[in-house]
Structure 1
Amino acid sequence: MNSMHPTGPGALRLIFPQWQGAAGAGTVGSLPAGQPHQTLLSYHLGPPLLELLSPLHDGPTAFVPVSTDTSDAAVETVDGIYARAAVLQQLRQALEVIQDAAPETVVTFGGECSVSVAPFSHLAALYGGDLAVLWVDAHPDTGTPGDGYTGFRSMSLATLAGEGDEEFLAALPAVVPPSNILQIGLRDWQDPGIGTKQRLGIRSVGITDTPEDTRRILEWLALTGATKLAVHVDLDVLDRRDFADTTGGGSRGVRVPDLLRIIDAVSDAGDIVGISLAQHAPLELLRLGGLLRELPV
């Protein structure tokens, strides 16, 4: 197969530093007191760093404007969603940016996980039932408003599958059938969203560091009949021995060689038309910034 990749013709590189979907000032709690929102704002720093470190891109690059307003009004929880107004507005803006570019493929460097909703919805509208989504994440992201956790990142995959807040769903050009979604590397089986995942029938494959994982993924892909793939990678799925600059994670995560093996295998079986990297939280840089503010520099 002559695979289409996100850096090929018609590609768009989307920089979407959304942080509000992470919900709440104490999400990580690893910064000094007096900086209640700085941990969340680390998600705002991550996407430009991913862009800086990535290979040169000769296609279009677009930036989604993201507010850094952390006032009580700006982050108010409404209808079970933290900073609902900002997240909804930024979802609409992301869709406008993408639709203006009309790309065939999209690479997204994002903040928290909900940044995949807009580009994957665009791809679903473009490719219809020929699109399958691989959601590589330690968490299910299939929560709904009222589940308990108010961050929209925990609702991102459910929204993409057509489940959740009606106003968010109305903004999407298309959703992805749950039968065309596969979760990879899921570890948090206590998440409230597991109930929605099971009700929707979204399947999952754990990672056991063996070729058996790849075989099961390829068998699932063959059953869908899809030839176009959108791959979401939440960096907290990775084992901390390989990557630690994110939230969550642990020593039971997916090893980088295994992730690359899976991506290579599915790229031989279909065209990768979308890939997202999310949850890069460069907390050490924030700590360094705090030091610089205190030094006479």
Structure 2
Amino acid sequence: MSQIHPSGPGALRLFFPQWQGAAGPQTHQLLPGVNAHDSQLSYHLGPALLGLMSPDHDGPTAYVPVSTDTADEALTTVNGIYAREAVLRQLTEALRILEDAAPDSVVTFGGECSVSVAPFSYLANRYGDDLAVLWIDAHPDTGVPGQSYTGFRSMALATLAGEGDAGIISELPALVPPLKILQVGLRHWDDEGIAVKERLGIQSVGITDTAEDSRKVLDWVEASGATRLAVHIDLDVLDSRDFSNSTGRQSDGMRVSDLVALVGDLSAAAEIVGLSLTEHLPLELMRLSRMLHDLPV
């Protein structure tokens, strides 16, 4: 039986549809017929759909207010971070919501990957060394300001580990030591963040499609000494044969059955107190939305 508690007084379901952490032409050109800003705003729609499709939740629910302003001045790159002002403002608001709600566990339906920074930092402050982080993602997310990609999503995990923008890091109630972080499913080894990952000593396990790989993850959890886990799932880790509404769209990813089995195994080994689902990009629905805006409905 899973030890994550998606309902009840100790659990918070957090909707955090942040999109500003995704920057660059690869974000803007995802779907012909959908303009650049609509492609970005698809991150805003994704979390709502996740909530609609999920089991009923009888515990508390909270929504982080996220700006939909796509004006150039609202998206200015500062200190090497695209839309830094919006990212920082929304991060601090998410932390305020979490501090006020004081949940024992948090399920986050998010936009891009950086939405995990606030709930995981909150949980690290609540549980200290008893918390470990599993970052299930095709990308390392250990970039830092000054690299070619300026989206904060690529810096999310490095920020949690205390590497990156000092002003953002100073807002976090706690950091996660690199030795308490495991990356799972990483396959973009040409990413600029790999050098930071290796310098920090963050370990990783490949695509968990074998019992041996799953065993490596469980052995790492046991060796970490943590009895509580925060699990980040970027949907781009999935194989495109199972899911294509993300940025991955490759047929060498993790199968859905393997992901579900791994999370089940993890929940038997430790209590999952944090779970984030990110990078849901319902781009076809954004195309439909554009049509609806052009019809007299």
Question: Normalised by the shorter chain, which TM-score bucket?
Answer: over 0.9
Return the alpha-carbon distance in structure 2 between the equivalents of residues 163 and 104 of structure 1: 26
Name the residue aligned to 2:79. Answer: 79
Kindly provide the amino acid, as one letter, of the partner of residue 134 in structure 2. L
Determine whether 1:166 maps to 2:159.
no
TM-score w.r.t. length of structure 2: 0.96
Deviations along 1:215-272, one digit per CA (max 9) or x if unpaired, are 1001111111000000000000000111111112310010001001110111000000
Return the alpha-carbon distance in structure 1 between the equivalents of residues 185 and 20 of structure 2: 24
What percent identity do the matched residue pairs reach?
A: 65
Q: CA, structure 1 residues 26+218, in 2 after alignment: closer, same or farther (shift >3 Å)?
A: closer
* Structure 1 residue matching 2:254: 3-state secondary structure: coil
Matches within 5 A, 1:258-277: 258-277=258-277
Return the alpha-carbon distance in structure 1 between the equivalents of residues 45 and 211 of structure 2: 35
Name the residue aligned to 1:36. Answer: 36
Matches within 5 A, 1:78-227: 78-227=78-227
Name the residue aligned to 1:287. Answer: 287
Name the residue aligned to 2:52. Answer: 52
Kindly provide the amino acid, as one letter, of the partner of residue 104 in structure 1. D
TM-score w.r.t. length of structure 1: 0.96
Return the alpha-carbon distance in structure 1 between the equivalents of residues 30 and 214 of structure 2: 36
The Cα shift of 1:148 comes to 1.0
Does the CA-based 8 Å contact 2:8-2:58 persist in structure 1?
no
The Cα shift of 1:24 comes to 3.6
- Higher mean C-alpha displacement, 204-213 vs 254-263: 204-213
Kindly provide the amino acid, as one letter, of the partner of residue 126 in structure 1. R
Deviations along 1:29-74, one digit per CA (max 9) or x if unpaired, are 1345682211010000001111111101111000000000011110
- Higher mean C-alpha displacement, 241-250 vs 270-279: 241-250
Return the alpha-carbon distance in structure 1 between the equivalents of residues 283 and 12 of structure 2: 28
Alpha-carbon RMSD across the aligned residues, in angstroms, is: 1.5
Deviations along 1:140-163, one digit per CA (max 9) or x if unpaired, are 000000011000000000000111
Return the alpha-carbon distance in structure 1 between the equivalents of residues 2 and 28 of structure 2: 43
Return the alpha-carbon distance in structure 2 between the equivalents of residues 74 and 98 of structure 1: 25
* Structure 2 residue matching 1:97: 3-state secondary structure: helix
* Structure 1 residue matching 2:232: 3-state secondary structure: strand
Does the CA-based 8 Å contact 2:3-2:271 persist in structure 1?
yes
The Cα shift of 1:289 comes to 1.2
- Higher mean C-alpha displacement, 283-292 vs 29-38: 29-38
- The answer for unaligned runs of 5 or more in structure 1 is none
Q: CA, structure 1 residues 3+291, in 2 after alignment: closer, same or farther (shift >3 Å)?
A: closer
Q: CA, structure 1 residues 107+296, in 2 after alignment: closer, same or farther (shift >3 Å)?
A: same
Return the alpha-carbon distance in structure 1 between the equivalents of residues 123 and 241 of structure 2: 33
Return the alpha-carbon distance in structure 2 between the equivalents of residues 283 and 113 of structure 1: 17
Does the CA-based 8 Å contact 1:25-1:39 persist in structure 2?
no
The Cα shift of 1:214 comes to 1.1
* Structure 1 residue matching 2:276: 3-state secondary structure: strand
The Cα shift of 1:7 comes to 3.3
Return the alpha-carbon distance in structure 1 between the equivalents of residues 150 and 230 of structure 2: 26
Kindly provide the amino acid, as one letter, of the partner of residue 259 in structure 1. L
The Cα shift of 1:26 comes to 5.1
Kindly provide the amino acid, as one letter, of the partner of residue 153 in structure 2. R
Return the alpha-carbon distance in structure 2 between the equivalents of residues 8 and 215 of structure 1: 31
* Structure 1 residue matching 2:73: 3-state secondary structure: coil
Kindly provide the amino acid, as one letter, of the partner of residue 118 in structure 1. A
Determine whether 1:15 maps to 2:15.
yes
Kindly provide the amino acid, as one letter, of the partner of residue 46 in structure 2. G
The Cα shift of 1:209 comes to 1.4
* Structure 2 residue matching 1:20: 3-state secondary structure: coil
Does the CA-based 8 Å contact 2:108-2:275 persist in structure 1?
yes
